[in-house]
Chains A and B, each alone.
Chain A
């Protein structure tokens, strides 16, 4: 085979001289001409891709060493025979090899069976799907590239993917895979069948303080987990707070809502109006508290609320004033949003809601005048105090100096922060089976599963040249820890680990997944 592409040495003196001259010229006068914006964008994405690669690659090697060392330590303490010790080590080695192979396996749309639509909006849809090889159920978020580009959403898409890929927390919905084809970006995420807090609030109107306390507390842990990774969510709202099948809360962005910078700009074209009280009618307009609005108007707001959740605009009702005013914001803006959510949980409506988004913005910016509490329903003094300490100036807002000052507030007295996700949730959603979507809105299958019109190959062009806006989008999350946990279980139960066949290995994992729900269902029955 070497003969086909051997190196050819150029012997012509003139040719050599010319090329040498060219090279010297390049060296003598380095060309620093400006490159095109597309090239600079590609270079930035390439650098990010390489940095991410080495970060993950080296961390992966370190984790592997740690796993091996931990098993060696455990084996020596377990008092098993030398043969069994060797068996355990070989078992770990085989799993590591399998994991390494999975790392280079390509993931694409053909690996998933698409099922029920659970969310739909201008940018795309969210759908239940099943991995064809394992049968595992995921939520597939599918985003139209053309919409991302035309609406200036590329950075939002990248931010979400990067956050989900980087943050591994029980408080955050898990990203398992991300990939693309010529028309769409795909995020394959953990499916949370409990629905979202928005749906819960629409059904319940108000929550008791005990239920609200539980979910505000879990929200605090979730928000803190992304702050620890230097991310600001900026758009915390009930739509983004999702419940798993046991009723525990995870932070996500299922609503496909992305506040548009353009929309902000158009709203802020009336920037002066936001802070002025020029006319009596305007003053009267935005000083009207939600509970004083006609009942029909409130019902209309609720109906609009769900539509807004799936629109390109989304809802601004929970957004901090400094975000709206674009005065520069930090993580504190997320605590404001939490305060607005808490108000809605206890009172039944967001504190600054309005049919008109601009009116809502004015109310938020003029929160000092507009934040009021109705006589009914009655809430505790501590709850009211906490809300007022979250819906206030950044400087005096709880959380600005750390999460502990929120946790220390009297309203949270008795909350066991370390045990929240292990304890029984305050609300138990009704979930029947793995494919249950009753806690999500129904969407008609207008076009059915999409026909295969999008082109997938060649793979590397998806990685680079064709869509330079989405370079490096592919991602695979490690499931090695889950596999190793079952390995630990083997040691505890049997004192030694058998060597299952591959089919048995995969089957056992599936079996384990199905056992847990059954045992949980028994107490209920």
Chain B
């Protein structure tokens, strides 16, 4: 399948329209990937390098995916407002409520931008926590590290789901769809490689995810 394609199957959940073709920037991105990996295959890029510690690999990629989601969502703040997105939805069937289990124990309904702000602040606090993501050389990862990573990935997926369902046309008009698609594809392949998100959680973008995962 094409790196930038969304698959040929009929999309039941939504039909993203590429009203504008990818610009030269998208071509540059493809060129970078092709030049380095030959076929532009991100599938190889997600695999654990030989001899690498699994937790270290999860950690460095978690930071990267966090940065990507953060910077992509940052381009939509003009459109993703409390009035436009009064709740954090992913299409007509899914709505997310926020709770972090610490300061907000009972899930509350918040607008999408508020949800994302809570979410990104929470993730950053996890990344900054030396007892979870150790930065000093030699400091060990906690025994529950993978569980923390899985929760982070599950919640990051929701931002992608919201973007694809609610703001994809804006992404297209800003000529960012190649970048969004590449980041999301990388995200899905990585989460699939290490089984970081339960399949049921991927339902809002089920067809898109399936088209990425299948070879």
Q: Is A97 touching B165 in the complex (CB atoms < 8 A)?
A: no
Q: Is B49 touching A61 in the complex (CB atoms < 8 A)?
A: yes
B6 at the A interface (CB under 8 A): no
Given A8-B97, A9-B93, A100-B52, decide whether A47 and B25 contact each other with a Cβ distance below 8 A. yes
Q: Which of A24-32, A203-211, A510-518 contacts B (4 or more CB under 8 A)?
A: A24-32
Q: Which of A119-127, A290-298, A459-467 contacts B (4 or more CB under 8 A)?
A: A459-467
When chains A and B are docked, how far (Å) is the Cα of A98 from the Cα of B70?
A: 26
Most chain B Cβ neighbours within 10 Å, of A54, A62, A92: A54
A136 at the B interface (CB under 8 A): no
Q: Is B105 touching A4 in the complex (CB atoms < 8 A)?
A: yes
Given A68-B50, A96-B52, A464-B70, decide whether A51 and B28 contact each other with a Cβ distance below 8 A. yes
Q: Is B92 touching A35 in the complex (CB atoms < 8 A)?
A: no
Q: Is B45 touching A61 in the complex (CB atoms < 8 A)?
A: yes
Q: Is B155 touching A92 in the complex (CB atoms < 8 A)?
A: no
Q: Which of A37-45, A304-312, A342-350 contacts B (4 or more CB under 8 A)?
A: A37-45
The residues of B that contact A19 with a CB separation of less than 8 Å are 89, 91-92
When chains A and B are docked, how far (Å) is the Cα of A64 from the Cα of B50?
A: 10
Interface residues on A, range: 35 or more
The residues of B that contact A50 with a CB separation of less than 8 Å are 29, 68, 71-72, 179, 182-183
Q: Which of A101-109, A188-196, A264-272 contacts B (4 or more CB under 8 A)?
A: A101-109
When chains A and B are docked, how far (Å) is the Cα of A10 from the Cα of B93?
A: 6
Q: Is B92 touching A39 in the complex (CB atoms < 8 A)?
A: no
The residues of A that contact B45 with a CB separation of less than 8 Å are 57-58, 61
Q: Which residue of B lies closest to A64 (CB)?
A: B49
The residues of A that contact B89 with a CB separation of less than 8 Å are 19
A55 at the B interface (CB under 8 A): yes
A417 at the B interface (CB under 8 A): no
What's the minimum C-beta distance from B117 to chain A, rounded to whole angstroms? 10
Q: Is B170 touching A35 in the complex (CB atoms < 8 A)?
A: yes
**Chain B 46-102 residues near chain A, CB threshold 8 A:** 49-53, 56-57, 59-60, 63-64, 66-68, 70-72, 74-79, 89, 91-101
Q: Is A47 touching B176 in the complex (CB atoms < 8 A)?
A: yes
B124 at the A interface (CB under 8 A): yes
When chains A and B are docked, how far (Å) is the Cα of A16 from the Cα of B91?
A: 10
What's the minimum C-beta distance from A65 to chain B, rounded to whole angstroms? 8
The 3 residue pairs across chains A and B that have the minimum distance between CB atoms: A93-B51, A464-B74, A58-B36
With contacts A30-B169, A39-B75 known, what are 16 further pairs, Cβ within 8 A? Answer: A1-B101, A19-B89, A20-B92, A30-B19, A32-B169, A39-B77, A39-B174, A43-B176, A54-B32, A58-B45, A97-B53, A97-B56, A100-B57, A101-B135, A471-B71, A471-B74
11 chain-A/chain-B pairs, Cβ below 8 angstroms: A1-B151, A4-B99, A7-B96, A9-B94, A16-B93, A23-B92, A48-B25, A50-B183, A58-B36, A61-B36, A62-B36
